[in-house]
Copies of this chain bind each other. A is one copy, B any other.
Amino acid sequence: MNVPTFTVYTEDAVARFMRIRRQTLALCTGLSGEDLQVQSMPDASPGKWHLAHTTWFFEQFVLGHDLAYRSLNPEWYYLFNSYYESVGPMHARPQRGLLSRPTLDEIFDYRANIDEAVGELLLRGVTTELAARIELGLHHEQQHQELLLTDIKHMLSCNPLLPAYRNMSAPNQSKTSPLRFLPGREGPVDMGHEGHGFAYDNETPRHTTWLSSHALANRLVTNAEYLAFVRDGGYQEAGLWLSDGWAQVQREGWQRPLYWQEDLASEFTLAGVHPLDPHAPVCHISYFEADAFARWAGARLPTEAEWEDAAAQLPIHGNFQESLRFQPNAVPLGEGLLQMYGDVWEWTASPYVSYPGFKPLPGALGEYNGKFMNGQWVLRGGSCATPRDHIRASYRNFFPPHARWQFAGIRLGQDR
């Protein structure tokens, strides 16, 4: 007989669950039902939908695991399923903003009810499989915290009034380290998740890869440097761009990073329009822009293997969601690789594909990552909107090459 392993959560574990769930609500403080209703583009979701979908995730994959479970709102499954084809049909993504009902208050109640039910379950004890799903749900929750922030930022930026989400604490300094290239290792190295602690399926299996001779920049590309690229006609010079990137530049009329204002001296932030900090890392750029900048600079982007091999040596600290600044800090003074974690996601030269021997999670949760392995590029390191305990050296974020609304920037690499 196959007895499932069983876990009873400690009060601390329950408190962690509640803390992460409540953090999502905390990010909505100061936003109205109207703010949380708007979907500013098909790629973004309304804040209210994030609140509901992350809750649906626990209802669907944790509570719903018990066949005796009866949902109070079974018709919401359709509304708040994001892309899990194997659990049923779903509301079309570009129409998420049309759902004025259920109301925000109903979604708050929904969150409270599901949290209570999951909390009780935790205290009663759960199978190892269910414990893994709950853990996945919490990391999923944290991903949506970041998306909530980037989606709210985009939504506010579409308003000609350019309103603020919150005040921003003052920038912390105003001198940057000079740019230097630090050599990385060459030859066979292992990469991927080590096996203890949580990781998404796409970080596994740990496997050997081969690093060519290379170096990584000690720091991120700054606004001042990117401005030089803009002023040098970077957006007018086809030869700097990938073909698809150049087509995008032409079609969309790109002239500068997404949130830079026309004066090239200020940018839209979650605190409204602020002067552009020349020492801060350039942010909200696409892969196309990162790649074109690197070519202009006579360098290239690092591969994800190069990045991970270097980052794995470093402690994880930096400017994360917890700083409540929601804006990258200026490049600090210092030795070694600076700001590898936090501040801005770093575009890599690696398309998002599976590792050798990759196996998606079984069942519907196998749709979490694997089916997106086409047409996207890997980003590494987390950002000022990422929760501190969400990131790790092996973490693989991914977005299409034209995506600009994430907190994404550039670290240069080079062949040696």
Q: Please report A residues at the B interface, Cβ cutoff 8 Å.
A: 32-38, 40, 48, 75, 78-79, 83, 85-86, 91, 95, 97-104, 155-156, 158-161, 163, 188, 207-210, 212, 214, 238-239, 241-246, 287-288, 349-351, 353-354, 356-357, 366-367, 371-375, 401, 415
Q: Which residues of B contact A48 (CB under 8 A)?
A: 34
Give 7 A-B contacts (CB < 8 Å), ordered by A residue: A34-B37, A40-B98, A95-B158, A99-B159, A101-B163, A243-B371, A288-B374
Q: Which residues of B contact A156 (CB under 8 A)?
A: 100-101
The listed residue (B38, B91, B351, B356) touching A97 by CB distance below 8 A is: B38
Q: Separation in Å of the A409 CB from the closest CB of chain B?
A: 19
Closest to A359 in B: B415
B33 pairs with A374, CB closer than 8 A: no
Question: How far does the alpha carbon of A40 sit from the alpha carbon of B100 in the complex, in Å?
Answer: 10
The listed residue (B99, B238, B288, B353) touching A349 by CB distance below 8 A is: B353
Q: Using A101-B161, A242-B373 as known contacts, list a sample of 15 further A-B pairs with CB atoms less than 8 Å apart, ordered by residue number in A.
A: A33-B37, A37-B100, A40-B98, A79-B161, A95-B158, A98-B158, A101-B156, A188-B210, A214-B356, A244-B375, A287-B374, A349-B353, A351-B351, A351-B353, A374-B401
Chain B CB within 10 Å, residue with most, of A35, A37, A103, A155: A37
Question: How far does the alpha carbon of A32 sit from the alpha carbon of B103 in the complex, in Å?
Answer: 8
Q: Separation in Å of the A287 CB from the closest CB of chain B?
A: 8
Q: Which residues of B contact A36 (CB under 8 A)?
A: 34
Q: Which residues of B contact A243 (CB under 8 A)?
A: 83, 371-372, 374
Copies of this chain, tallied across the complex: 4
B155 pairs with A100, CB closer than 8 A: yes
Q: Which residues of B contact A103 (CB under 8 A)?
A: 32, 34
The listed residue (B100, B161, B238) touching A35 by CB distance below 8 A is: B100
Question: How far does the alpha carbon of A100 sit from the alpha carbon of B44 in the complex, in Å?
Answer: 15
A238 pairs with B86, CB closer than 8 A: yes
Q: Separation in Å of the A256 CB from the closest CB of chain B?
A: 21
Q: Which residues of B contact A75 (CB under 8 A)?
A: 160-161
Per CB-CB distance, the 5 closest pairs between chain A and chain B, nearest first, are A212-B356, A351-B351, A85-B238, A34-B100, A210-B210
Q: Separation in Å of the A396 CB from the closest CB of chain B?
A: 14
A85 pairs with B239, CB closer than 8 A: yes
Q: Separation in Å of the A25 CB from the closest CB of chain B?
A: 17
Question: How far does the alpha carbon of A214 sit from the alpha carbon of B2 in the complex, in Å?
Answer: 32
Question: How far does the alpha carbon of A371 sit from the alpha carbon of B249 in the complex, in Å?
Answer: 14
Question: How far does the alpha carbon of A260 sit from the alpha carbon of B97 in the complex, in Å?
Answer: 23
Question: How far does the alpha carbon of A401 sit from the alpha carbon of B373 in the complex, in Å?
Answer: 11
Q: Which residues of B contact A207 (CB under 8 A)?
A: 212
Q: Which residues of B contact A288 (CB under 8 A)?
A: 374
Closest to A210 in B: B210
Q: Which residues of B contact A349 (CB under 8 A)?
A: 353-354
B241 pairs with A371, CB closer than 8 A: yes
Question: How far does the alpha carbon of A244 sit from the alpha carbon of B350 in the complex, in Å?
Answer: 19
